[in-house]
Protein backbone atom coordinates (compact mmCIF):
# COMPACT_ATOMS: atom_id res chain seq x y z
CA UNK A 1 0.00 0.00 0.00
CA UNK A 2 1.23 3.54 -0.77
CA UNK A 3 -0.07 7.01 -0.09
CA UNK A 4 -1.64 6.93 -3.55
CA UNK A 5 -3.13 3.45 -3.33
CA UNK A 6 -6.75 2.85 -4.26
CA UNK A 7 -9.06 1.63 -1.48
CA UNK A 8 -10.89 -1.51 -2.64
CA UNK A 9 -13.66 -3.73 -1.24
CA UNK A 10 -13.66 -7.12 -2.99
CA UNK A 11 -16.82 -9.23 -3.11
CA UNK A 12 -16.09 -12.77 -4.28
CA UNK A 13 -16.82 -16.51 -4.27
CA UNK A 14 -13.42 -18.25 -4.12
CA UNK A 15 -12.98 -20.17 -6.47
CA UNK A 16 -9.52 -20.51 -8.04
CA UNK A 17 -9.58 -17.28 -10.02
CA UNK A 18 -11.17 -15.34 -7.13
CA UNK A 19 -8.32 -16.57 -4.92
CA UNK A 20 -5.78 -15.29 -7.42
CA UNK A 21 -7.65 -11.97 -7.65
CA UNK A 22 -7.39 -11.58 -3.85
CA UNK A 23 -3.69 -12.41 -3.99
CA UNK A 24 -3.06 -9.91 -6.79
CA UNK A 25 -4.88 -7.21 -4.83
CA UNK A 26 -2.91 -8.03 -1.69
CA UNK A 27 0.40 -8.02 -3.55
CA UNK A 28 0.05 -4.81 -5.55
CA UNK A 29 1.23 -1.62 -3.85
CA UNK A 30 -1.36 0.43 -5.75
CA UNK A 31 -4.29 -1.48 -4.22
CA UNK A 32 -5.36 -0.97 -0.62
CA UNK A 33 -7.53 -4.04 -0.06
CA UNK A 34 -9.66 -3.07 2.92
CA UNK A 35 -12.36 -5.74 3.07
CA UNK A 36 -13.26 -9.06 1.46
CA UNK A 37 -16.92 -10.06 1.37
CA UNK A 38 -18.24 -13.38 0.17
CA UNK A 39 -21.25 -14.65 -1.72
CA UNK A 40 -22.58 -18.06 -2.65
CA UNK A 41 -21.72 -19.04 -6.22
CA UNK A 42 -18.84 -21.29 -7.17
CA UNK A 43 -19.60 -23.21 -3.97
CA UNK A 44 -21.71 -22.60 -0.87
CA UNK A 45 -21.31 -19.44 1.18
CA UNK A 46 -19.78 -21.41 4.01
CA UNK A 47 -17.03 -22.64 1.70
CA UNK A 48 -16.45 -19.36 -0.17
CA UNK A 49 -16.05 -17.65 3.21
CA UNK A 50 -13.64 -20.26 4.53
CA UNK A 51 -11.69 -19.99 1.30
CA UNK A 52 -11.44 -16.20 1.47
CA UNK A 53 -10.01 -16.55 4.98
CA UNK A 54 -7.59 -19.24 3.77
CA UNK A 55 -6.33 -17.04 0.93
CA UNK A 56 -5.72 -14.14 3.31
CA UNK A 57 -3.84 -16.53 5.60
CA UNK A 58 -1.74 -17.58 2.64
CA UNK A 59 -0.74 -13.96 1.91
CA UNK A 60 -0.30 -13.26 5.62
CA UNK A 61 -2.95 -10.53 5.81
CA UNK A 62 -4.84 -11.08 9.08
CA UNK A 63 -5.59 -7.35 9.05
CA UNK A 64 -8.06 -7.62 6.16
CA UNK A 65 -11.51 -8.52 7.54
CA UNK A 66 -13.85 -10.96 5.85
CA UNK A 67 -17.64 -10.69 6.03
CA UNK A 68 -20.07 -13.27 4.69
CA UNK A 69 -22.92 -12.05 2.50
CA UNK A 70 -25.85 -13.73 0.80
CA UNK A 71 -26.05 -17.50 0.93
CA UNK A 72 -28.32 -17.81 -2.08
CA UNK A 73 -29.46 -15.91 -5.16
CA UNK A 74 -32.45 -13.57 -4.92
CA UNK A 75 -34.98 -15.72 -6.76
CA UNK A 76 -33.38 -18.84 -8.20
CA UNK A 77 -32.05 -21.80 -6.28
CA UNK A 78 -28.27 -21.83 -5.83
CA UNK A 79 -26.37 -23.69 -8.54
CA UNK A 80 -22.66 -24.07 -7.95
CA UNK A 81 -19.63 -24.68 -10.15
CA UNK A 82 -18.17 -27.45 -8.01
CA UNK A 83 -17.61 -29.41 -11.22
CA UNK A 84 -14.91 -26.85 -12.06
CA UNK A 85 -13.62 -25.70 -8.68
CA UNK A 86 -14.13 -28.90 -6.66
CA UNK A 87 -16.47 -29.36 -3.68
CA UNK A 88 -14.27 -27.16 -1.48
CA UNK A 89 -14.07 -24.45 -4.15
CA UNK A 90 -10.27 -24.62 -4.18
CA UNK A 91 -9.41 -28.08 -5.50
CA UNK A 92 -5.69 -28.73 -5.82
CA UNK A 93 -3.59 -27.73 -2.83
CA UNK A 94 -3.94 -29.07 0.67
CA UNK A 95 -6.33 -26.73 2.48
CA UNK A 96 -5.53 -25.75 6.06
CA UNK A 97 -8.17 -24.67 8.55
CA UNK A 98 -8.54 -20.87 8.45
CA UNK A 99 -6.76 -19.19 11.36
CA UNK A 100 -9.75 -16.96 12.16
CA UNK A 101 -13.45 -16.50 11.56
CA UNK A 102 -15.40 -14.04 9.47
CA UNK A 103 -16.87 -10.98 11.19
CA UNK A 104 -20.15 -11.51 13.03
CA UNK A 105 -22.04 -8.90 11.00
CA UNK A 106 -23.47 -9.60 7.54
CA UNK A 107 -21.54 -8.26 4.55
CA UNK A 108 -24.05 -5.55 3.68
CA UNK A 109 -23.75 -4.00 7.15
CA UNK A 110 -19.98 -4.14 7.05
CA UNK A 111 -19.88 -2.62 3.57
CA UNK A 112 -22.19 0.16 4.77
CA UNK A 113 -19.86 0.95 7.68
CA UNK A 114 -16.76 0.93 5.47
CA UNK A 115 -18.46 3.33 3.05
CA UNK A 116 -19.48 5.64 5.90
CA UNK A 117 -16.03 5.59 7.53
CA UNK A 118 -13.88 5.89 4.42
CA UNK A 119 -11.75 8.97 3.93
CA UNK A 120 -12.39 8.84 0.17
CA UNK A 121 -14.85 7.04 -2.16
CA UNK A 122 -14.23 3.30 -2.30
CA UNK A 123 -13.88 1.09 -5.34
CA UNK A 124 -16.08 -2.01 -5.29
CA UNK A 125 -15.00 -5.14 -7.16
CA UNK A 126 -17.33 -8.11 -7.61
CA UNK A 127 -16.06 -11.43 -8.94
CA UNK A 128 -19.04 -13.64 -8.11
CA UNK A 129 -22.80 -13.48 -8.46
CA UNK A 130 -24.08 -9.93 -7.90
CA UNK A 131 -26.38 -10.77 -4.98
CA UNK A 132 -24.50 -8.66 -2.43
CA UNK A 133 -24.03 -5.82 -4.91
CA UNK A 134 -27.78 -5.70 -5.57
CA UNK A 135 -28.20 -5.21 -1.83
CA UNK A 136 -25.73 -2.33 -1.99
CA UNK A 137 -27.79 -0.76 -4.77
CA UNK A 138 -31.13 -1.16 -3.02
CA UNK A 139 -30.20 -0.71 0.64
CA UNK A 140 -27.49 1.93 0.45
CA UNK A 141 -28.71 4.51 -2.10
CA UNK A 142 -27.77 7.27 0.36
CA UNK A 143 -24.11 6.21 0.12
CA UNK A 144 -23.77 6.33 -3.67
CA UNK A 145 -21.35 9.22 -3.50
CA UNK A 146 -19.08 7.07 -1.31
CA UNK A 147 -18.66 4.58 -4.18
CA UNK A 148 -16.04 5.55 -6.75
CA UNK A 149 -16.91 2.74 -9.15
CA UNK A 150 -17.87 -0.92 -9.43
CA UNK A 151 -15.84 -3.31 -11.56
CA UNK A 152 -17.33 -6.75 -12.10
CA UNK A 153 -16.22 -9.97 -13.70
CA UNK A 154 -19.34 -11.23 -15.38
CA UNK A 155 -21.29 -11.51 -18.58
CA UNK A 156 -20.32 -11.70 -22.22
CA UNK A 157 -21.14 -9.74 -25.34
CA UNK A 158 -21.09 -12.91 -27.41
CA UNK A 159 -21.11 -16.51 -26.18
CA UNK A 160 -21.74 -17.68 -22.63
CA UNK A 161 -19.71 -20.27 -20.78
CA UNK A 162 -22.23 -21.88 -18.41
CA UNK A 163 -25.03 -21.99 -20.93
CA UNK A 164 -24.69 -21.13 -24.61
CA UNK A 165 -26.24 -17.75 -23.72
CA UNK A 166 -24.93 -16.92 -20.27
CA UNK A 167 -21.77 -16.46 -18.27
CA UNK A 168 -21.71 -18.19 -14.87
CA UNK A 169 -21.75 -15.22 -12.44
CA UNK A 170 -24.71 -13.54 -14.12
CA UNK A 171 -26.49 -16.86 -14.66
CA UNK A 172 -26.28 -17.72 -10.93
CA UNK A 173 -28.24 -14.61 -9.95
CA UNK A 174 -29.66 -12.80 -12.97
CA UNK A 175 -32.21 -10.94 -10.84
CA UNK A 176 -29.44 -9.35 -8.79
CA UNK A 177 -27.49 -8.52 -11.95
CA UNK A 178 -30.62 -6.86 -13.33
CA UNK A 179 -30.83 -4.61 -10.26
CA UNK A 180 -27.15 -3.65 -10.62
CA UNK A 181 -27.21 -2.92 -14.35
CA UNK A 182 -30.43 -0.87 -14.04
CA UNK A 183 -28.67 1.31 -11.45
CA UNK A 184 -25.48 1.75 -13.48
CA UNK A 185 -23.81 4.45 -15.51
CA UNK A 186 -20.73 4.62 -17.71
CA UNK A 187 -17.61 5.55 -15.70
CA UNK A 188 -16.54 9.11 -16.35
CA UNK A 189 -20.09 10.25 -17.16
CA UNK A 190 -22.87 11.61 -14.95
CA UNK A 191 -22.88 11.80 -11.17
CA UNK A 192 -23.42 9.32 -8.32
CA UNK A 193 -27.14 10.23 -8.27
CA UNK A 194 -27.38 8.96 -11.85
CA UNK A 195 -26.06 5.52 -10.92
CA UNK A 196 -22.95 3.55 -9.98
CA UNK A 197 -20.07 3.79 -12.46
CA UNK A 198 -19.87 0.23 -13.79
CA UNK A 199 -17.23 -1.65 -15.76
CA UNK A 200 -18.12 -5.13 -16.98
CA UNK A 201 -15.19 -7.45 -17.60
CA UNK A 202 -16.76 -10.33 -19.49
CA UNK A 203 -15.63 -13.42 -21.32
CA UNK A 204 -14.35 -11.58 -24.42
CA UNK A 205 -11.63 -10.29 -22.13
CA UNK A 206 -11.12 -13.04 -19.61
CA UNK A 207 -10.88 -15.94 -22.05
CA UNK A 208 -7.72 -14.23 -23.29
CA UNK A 209 -6.34 -13.87 -19.77
CA UNK A 210 -5.07 -17.42 -19.31
CA UNK A 211 -2.19 -19.04 -17.54
CA UNK A 212 -0.76 -22.44 -18.50
CA UNK A 213 1.43 -25.19 -17.05
CA UNK A 214 4.60 -23.14 -17.60
CA UNK A 215 3.24 -20.40 -15.32
CA UNK A 216 2.42 -22.90 -12.60
CA UNK A 217 5.94 -24.27 -12.86
CA UNK A 218 7.47 -20.80 -12.68
CA UNK A 219 5.49 -19.98 -9.52
CA UNK A 220 6.17 -23.32 -7.84
CA UNK A 221 9.65 -22.28 -6.75
CA UNK A 222 8.90 -18.74 -5.60
CA UNK A 223 7.76 -19.37 -2.02
CA UNK A 224 4.89 -20.73 0.04
CA UNK A 225 2.19 -18.63 -1.65
CA UNK A 226 3.64 -19.23 -5.12
CA UNK A 227 3.64 -22.99 -4.54
CA UNK A 228 0.03 -22.81 -3.38
CA UNK A 229 -1.02 -20.90 -6.50
CA UNK A 230 0.88 -23.43 -8.62
CA UNK A 231 -1.17 -26.22 -7.06
CA UNK A 232 -4.38 -24.28 -7.67
CA UNK A 233 -3.31 -23.87 -11.30
CA UNK A 234 -2.46 -27.57 -11.65
CA UNK A 235 -6.14 -28.28 -11.07
CA UNK A 236 -7.64 -25.26 -12.85
CA UNK A 237 -5.45 -25.37 -15.95
CA UNK A 238 -5.86 -29.14 -16.14
CA UNK A 239 -9.64 -28.78 -15.98
CA UNK A 240 -9.67 -26.37 -18.93
CA UNK A 241 -7.26 -28.52 -20.91
CA UNK A 242 -9.41 -31.61 -20.42
CA UNK A 243 -12.83 -29.99 -20.75
CA UNK A 244 -12.21 -27.48 -23.55
CA UNK A 245 -8.90 -28.55 -25.07
CA UNK A 246 -7.41 -25.14 -24.21
CA UNK A 247 -3.74 -24.57 -23.52
CA UNK A 248 -4.47 -22.81 -20.24
CA UNK A 249 -7.09 -21.74 -17.72
CA UNK A 250 -8.62 -18.25 -17.81
CA UNK A 251 -7.91 -16.30 -14.63
CA UNK A 252 -11.19 -14.40 -15.13
CA UNK A 253 -11.48 -12.63 -11.79
CA UNK A 254 -7.91 -11.35 -11.58
CA UNK A 255 -8.59 -9.14 -14.61
CA UNK A 256 -10.82 -6.86 -12.50
CA UNK A 257 -7.91 -6.04 -10.19
CA UNK A 258 -5.44 -5.82 -13.07
CA UNK A 259 -7.76 -3.30 -14.73
CA UNK A 260 -7.61 -1.13 -11.62
CA UNK A 261 -3.83 -1.43 -11.41
CA UNK A 262 -3.33 -0.58 -15.10
CA UNK A 263 -6.40 0.80 -16.92
CA UNK A 264 -4.59 0.53 -20.28
CA UNK A 265 -4.67 -3.30 -20.20
CA UNK A 266 -8.36 -3.76 -21.03
CA UNK A 267 -10.08 -2.03 -23.94
CA UNK A 268 -13.64 -1.00 -23.09
CA UNK A 269 -16.57 0.48 -24.98
CA UNK A 270 -19.68 2.15 -23.51
CA UNK A 271 -22.75 0.00 -24.18
CA UNK A 272 -26.29 -0.49 -23.05
CA UNK A 273 -26.47 -3.81 -21.21
CA UNK A 274 -29.67 -5.45 -20.03
CA UNK A 275 -30.09 -8.76 -18.25
CA UNK A 276 -32.40 -11.56 -19.37
CA UNK A 277 -34.25 -12.79 -16.26
CA UNK A 278 -37.08 -14.86 -17.70
CA UNK A 279 -36.33 -16.87 -20.83
CA UNK A 280 -35.58 -20.49 -19.91
CA UNK A 281 -33.21 -20.67 -22.85
CA UNK A 282 -31.34 -17.42 -22.33
CA UNK A 283 -31.70 -16.57 -18.63
CA UNK A 284 -28.62 -14.77 -17.34
CA UNK A 285 -27.62 -13.39 -20.73
CA UNK A 286 -26.04 -9.93 -20.72
CA UNK A 287 -27.79 -8.42 -23.74
CA UNK A 288 -25.09 -5.93 -24.76
CA UNK A 289 -25.95 -3.47 -27.52
CA UNK A 290 -22.53 -3.58 -29.22
CA UNK A 291 -23.78 -1.91 -32.42
CA UNK A 292 -26.15 0.61 -30.78
CA UNK A 293 -29.22 -0.78 -32.50
CA UNK A 294 -31.62 -0.14 -29.60
CA UNK A 295 -31.06 3.58 -29.14
CA UNK A 296 -30.90 2.96 -25.39
CA UNK A 297 -28.27 4.91 -23.47
CA UNK A 298 -25.07 3.14 -22.48
CA UNK A 299 -25.01 2.09 -18.81
CA UNK A 300 -21.62 0.38 -18.54
CA UNK A 301 -18.11 0.31 -19.92
CA UNK A 302 -17.82 -3.17 -21.39
CA UNK A 303 -14.45 -4.86 -21.83
CA UNK A 304 -13.75 -6.17 -25.32
CA UNK A 305 -10.06 -7.01 -25.37
CA UNK A 306 -6.95 -7.28 -23.22
CA UNK A 307 -3.23 -6.97 -23.77
CA UNK A 308 -2.60 -10.53 -22.63
CA UNK A 309 1.17 -10.37 -22.54
CA UNK A 310 1.20 -7.38 -20.23
CA UNK A 311 -1.55 -8.91 -18.07
CA UNK A 312 0.43 -12.11 -17.62
CA UNK A 313 3.63 -10.19 -16.88
CA UNK A 314 1.85 -8.11 -14.23
CA UNK A 315 0.14 -11.09 -12.63
CA UNK A 316 3.25 -13.27 -12.55
CA UNK A 317 5.35 -10.43 -11.17
CA UNK A 318 2.94 -9.75 -8.27
CA UNK A 319 2.31 -13.42 -7.46
CA UNK A 320 6.04 -14.13 -7.47
CA UNK A 321 6.60 -11.30 -5.01
CA UNK A 322 4.48 -12.99 -2.32
CA UNK A 323 6.48 -14.74 0.37
C1 LIG B 1 -16.68 -16.81 -13.39
O2 LIG B 1 -17.33 -17.99 -12.91
C3 LIG B 1 -16.67 -18.50 -11.80
O4 LIG B 1 -16.59 -19.90 -11.86
C5 LIG B 1 -15.30 -17.87 -11.79
O6 LIG B 1 -14.82 -17.72 -10.47
C7 LIG B 1 -15.52 -16.55 -12.47
O8 LIG B 1 -15.88 -15.54 -11.53
C9 LIG B 1 -16.31 -17.04 -14.84
O10 LIG B 1 -17.45 -17.27 -15.61
CA1 LIG C 1 -15.64 -15.88 -9.13
What is the chain's mean pLDDT, rounded? 97
pLDDT at 171: 98
pLDDT at 107: 98
Ligand 2 centre distance from Cα of residue 14 (Å): 6
Segment 46-54 shows an average pLDDT of 98
> 135: which residues sit within 8 A by CB, 6+ positions away?
69, 70, 108
Ligand 1 centre distance from Cα of residue 84 (Å): 9
Alpha carbons 121 and 34: distance in angstroms, whole number: 12
Going by pLDDT thresholds of 50, 70 and 90, the confidence category of residue 279 is very high
* Top mutation candidate among 17, 51, 239 for ligand 1, by most atoms within 8 Å of CB: 17
Asked if residue 168 has its Cβ within 6 Å of ligand 1, the reply is yes
pLDDT at 1: 59
pTM of the entire structure? Answer: 0.98
Could you report the per-residue pLDDT of 3-49, keeping only the tens digit for each?
Answer: 689 999 999 999 999 999 999 999 999 999 999 999 999 999 999 99
Segment 91-115 shows an average pLDDT of 98
Specify whether 252 is catalytic: yes
pLDDT at residue 103 tops 90: yes
Could you report the per-residue pLDDT of 159-187, keeping only the tens digit for each?
Answer: 999 999 999 999 999 999 999 999 999 99
- Could you give all domains of the chain from N- to C-terminal order, each with its CATH number? 6-321 (3.90.245.10)
Amino acid sequence: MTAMSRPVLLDCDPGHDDAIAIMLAAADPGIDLRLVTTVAGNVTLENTTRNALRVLDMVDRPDIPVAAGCDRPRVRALSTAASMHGDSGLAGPELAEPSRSALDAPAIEVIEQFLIDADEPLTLVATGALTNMADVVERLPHLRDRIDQLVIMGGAVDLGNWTPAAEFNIWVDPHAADVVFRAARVPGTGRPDDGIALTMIGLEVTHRAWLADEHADALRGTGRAGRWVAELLDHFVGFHQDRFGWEGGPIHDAVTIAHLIDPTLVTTLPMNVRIETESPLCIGRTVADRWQVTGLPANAAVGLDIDRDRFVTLLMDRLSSLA
